[in-house]
Amino acid sequence: MTHNLSFDFYQKNKSSVQAIRKYSQLREILLSYPSALLAYSGGVDSTFLLAAWHEVWKDKKKNRVDVTVRDNKVVTGKSARTDSEESESPRLLACTILSPLLPTGTAEDVQKMVDFMDAEHRFLQIDPLREPFMSKNEWDRCYHCKLHLFQSLVNLAKKEKISFLFDGTNVDDLKDFRPGHRALSELAVFSPLAEAKLTKDEIRFLSKEMGLPTWNLPSMACLASRIPYGVAVDKKKLQQIDAAELVLHKLGFPGSRVRYHGDGARIEIDERYGRNASFLLEEPYRSHVISALKEIGFRYISLDLEGYRMGSLNPNRDSLDS
């Protein structure tokens, strides 16, 4: 399916003009990557990147233009290829890693999106809970986990003779505390959206203009991010968190988080995507949530008055330096 970005809306506001300029930069960047494997989550960023790559390379794929990577540079056309070099047709393989760290329904949502995009895609099944870094759950757990998971993508790319590995990191992500970025750097994973300096809001804006149904999806994060550092991550805790958040989502609170505190559940409501948090204090919402979360295994249920905020369980940076 084709997803064309219309440029007739540039007069709407200054932010749209800036977004278009960055999209043009992204297109130029993607022209240097005819063959890539994309770590695909089905979320806003990776779906937009998948659509943008196909938009850039669709004509070359249609006309069967030969592409050769020589000295880390892209050369197109048969005349540019020597007998000893192998040409490659433009190809983007999207790959999703399924694990207990993902919310229920992730695989189904991803499959719907890749079918909608008519994209080449594969699932990989990996269980990082067997690894020691999960039971320790130290402040750099995300680094070890991402290194473990993305190494499997590196191996798949080599097997498929794919030259580059992409992820959907945007420029806003670089401002947050994310130890996993170090793993991406060590594995030479490239982040085109961050390279083009695209923000989350700009990606949502451009996604909407491209007709992508993911444009207004809440941000996603692995379920382990709901567990405080120092508390072991295991399947039972993840299932509790997943089930509790599903209760909230079904009630009209998408994107909300349930932070795990032993026998207590701290609810963070993201009011950007659903009802106001005050609804949870009214009946029948209040009784339903209390009953459902206690049945899941929580003894105490509290509503965080600050609402959802990214990285609310992140360690204090000063403590990491001490």
Q: Please give the positions annotated as active site.
A: 222
How many Cβ atoms are within 10 Å of 27's Cβ, its own excluded? 16
Distance (Å, whole) CA 278 – CA 269: 10
Distance (Å, whole) CA 258 – CA 165: 32
Distance (Å, whole) CA 60 – CA 83: 22
Report which residue type is found at 27: R
Phi-psi category of residue 137: left, alpha or beta, with phi > 0 → left and psi -120 to 50 → alpha: left
3-state secondary structure of 114: helix
Distance (Å, whole) CA 26 – CA 203: 11
Q: Per this entry, what is the length of the chain?
A: 322
Distance (Å, whole) CA 147 – CA 157: 15
